[in-house]
């Protein structure tokens, strides 16, 4: 009996010069897990023709997609966000760069990614990859970043050699390196969980053509920006603000130093739900709060700034 293939591997990311055309990796990203896959809507034909069985299979529309979960290092986060529904600007000089990402209203992505997955020597190259939604959360003190992607098709490629950039790919964010400001400029110390989510509802678009069964492109839908927090409930002031639909600016900062930070800002956050519960006698009263992000006067519903040593402009085709 042949032995199975082992689980070792790695993931590489590249910004495509031509959308949908495979580009070899330019940055290799340490990951926790991935579920990328090629799917095809095969038509199994069973016409009435004196047979009880399926007659044949006809290929239908195909696409790629799945999830990638990483520990949220500022350089890897910035690289993946290039494939999201964002406008990116960069400031600073070596070694202190800041990449700022702001959600835009474009129907399709400004840039698409090629994602290369090597699963113990077996290469899978996914093209035209667009980030449909992403989220930040903290688990066991570590800041985590997950993206759900939708792409055009898969291309067979040669095995790349992973290069892990020394000094740029930084250590993880951990306990004692988080600052939550509600409202912005007022730091609070009574939260123990948060999840920030942006969902642009991307979907593969198919057109009749003669060169591929893959998607022609990926289009975005309506955007939802949300934040959930668990806080100690001290007074009714915040609860009453929930009932009054009072808007707040909220800032979340993970920082290890000058060029190692991620800053998330919701300029206009309005509480969507506010639940206060007692589970037993003598318990601390806790509040579970969910916010929805709406646009400010400039049309911005969120911004993400990654301070790193990575010059992201060198990776843009």
- Round to whole Å and give the CA distance between 83 and 186: 32
What is the average pLDDT score of the chain?
Answer: 91
> How many beta carbons lie within 10 A of that of residue 275, not counting itself?
11
Among 1-10, 97-106, 155-164, the least confident range: 1-10
| pTM recorded for the entire structure | 0.91
Going by C-alpha positions, the residue among 250, 215, 242 that lies closest to residue 64 is 215
Planar angle of CA 262, 145, 19, nearest 5 degrees: 95
Tokens of 249: 């600016």
Give the mean pLDDT of 252-270: 94
- Round to whole Å and give the CA distance between 176 and 116: 34
186: left (phi over 0), alpha (psi -120 to 50) or beta: beta
**pLDDT one-digit tens code per residue, 46-77:** 999 998 999 999 989 999 999 999 999 998 99
**pLDDT one-digit tens code per residue, 144-183:** 999 999 999 999 888 998 888 755 555 789 899 999 999 9
Helix (H, G, I), strand (E, B) or coil at 37: strand
């Amino acid at each position: 009996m042949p032995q199975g293939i082992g689980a070792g591997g790695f993931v590489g990311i590249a910004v495509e010069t031509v959308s949908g055309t495979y580009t070899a990796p330019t940055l290799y990203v340490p990951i926790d897990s991935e579920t990328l896959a090629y799917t095809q809507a095969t038509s199994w034909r069973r016409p009435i023709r004196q047979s009880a069985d399926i007659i044949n299979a006809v290929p239908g529309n195909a696409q790629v997609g799945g999830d990638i979960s990483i520990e949220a290092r500022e350089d890897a986060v910035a690289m993946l966000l290039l494939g999201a529904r964002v406008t990116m600007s960069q400031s600073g000089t070596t070694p202190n760069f800041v990449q700022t990402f702001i959600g835009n209203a474009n129907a399709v992505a400004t840039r698409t990614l090629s994602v290369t997955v090597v699963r113990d020597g077996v290469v899978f190259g996914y093209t035209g990859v667009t980030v449909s939604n992403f989220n930040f959360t903290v688990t066991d003190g570590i800041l985590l970043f997950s993206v759900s992607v939708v792409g055009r098709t898969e291309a067979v490629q040669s095995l790349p050699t992973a290069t892990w950039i020394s000094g740029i790919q930084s250590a993880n964010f951990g306990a004692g390196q988080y600052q939550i400001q509600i409202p912005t400029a007022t730091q609070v110390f009574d939260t123990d969980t948060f999840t920030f989510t942006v969902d642009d509802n991307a979907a593969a678009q198919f057109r009749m053509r003669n060169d591929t069964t893959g998607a022609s492109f990926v289009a975005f839908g309506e955007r939802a920006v949300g934040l959930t927090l668990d806080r100690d409930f001290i007074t009714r002031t915040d609860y009453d603000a929930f009932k009054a639909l009072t808007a707040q600016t909220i800032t979340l900062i993970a920082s290890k130093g000058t060029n190692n930070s991620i800053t998330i800002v919701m300029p206009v956050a309005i509480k969507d739900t506010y639940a206060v519960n007692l589970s037993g006698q003598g318990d601390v009263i806790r509040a579970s709060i969910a916010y929805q992000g709406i646009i400010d006067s400039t049309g911005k519903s969120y911004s993400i700034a990654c301070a790193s040593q990575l010059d992201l402009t060198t990776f843009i085709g």
